[in-house]
Structure 1
């Protein structure tokens, strides 16, 4: 299992409606068959360094690396001027209560 975390800094235009209703369905449709197993979107409270975080769960880092070269990342300018920071890693431990 692998995780890709995408964070968007505060202080930039961000169309949350487009992001949730257009971009994330594009993410699920495009990457669902390529190893994406789920995601969570968090909107942070105002005044912090970041405004939005997307945590994407992948079957493997290899699946992410293969899928990352497509139209999904090209859609980012349609909802924000913020530079996205991507953090990738392999899951070492997880707990759901």
Structure 2
């Protein structure tokens, strides 16, 4: 299992309605069959460094790297001017309490 975290910095236009209701369904439709298992969207409180975080759980980083070359990334300008920061990693331990 792998995690891809996408961080969008504060101080940029961000259409949250479009992101949640159009972009993320596009993500699920296109990336689900490619190995995306789940995602969580977090909106941070005002005044922080970042405004939005997406945490995507994948079967592997290889699956993400293969899928990340499609229409999903091309949709980003439709909801934000923020440069996205990607952080990727392989899961070493997961505990559900």
Task: Give the TM-score, by structure 1 length.
Answer: 0.99
Match of 1:72 in 2: 72
What's the offset of the Cα at 1:33? 0.2
Match of 1:96 in 2: 96
**Consecutive unaligned residues in structure 2, runs of 5 or more:** none
**1:19-46 CA distance string (max 9 Å, x none):** 0000000000000000000000000000
**1:39-92 CA distance string (max 9 Å, x none):** 000000000000000000000011001001001011000000000001111001
What are the residue-to-residue correspondences of 1:41-80 with 2, within 5 Å?
Answer: 41-80=41-80
Partner SS for 1:13: coil
Partner SS for 1:31: helix
Match of 2:35 in 1: 35
- The size of the alignment, in residue pairs, is 97
State how far apart, in whole Å, the 2-side matches of 1:96 and 1:28 are.
Answer: 23
Match of 2:2 in 1: 2
Partner SS for 1:25: helix
State how far apart, in whole Å, the 2-side matches of 1:31 and 1:40 are.
Answer: 14
State how far apart, in whole Å, the 1-side matches of 2:14 and 2:27 are.
Answer: 17
State how far apart, in whole Å, the 2-side matches of 1:50 and 1:61 are.
Answer: 24
State how far apart, in whole Å, the 2-side matches of 1:89 and 1:29 are.
Answer: 23
Task: Give the TM-score, by structure 2 length.
Answer: 0.99
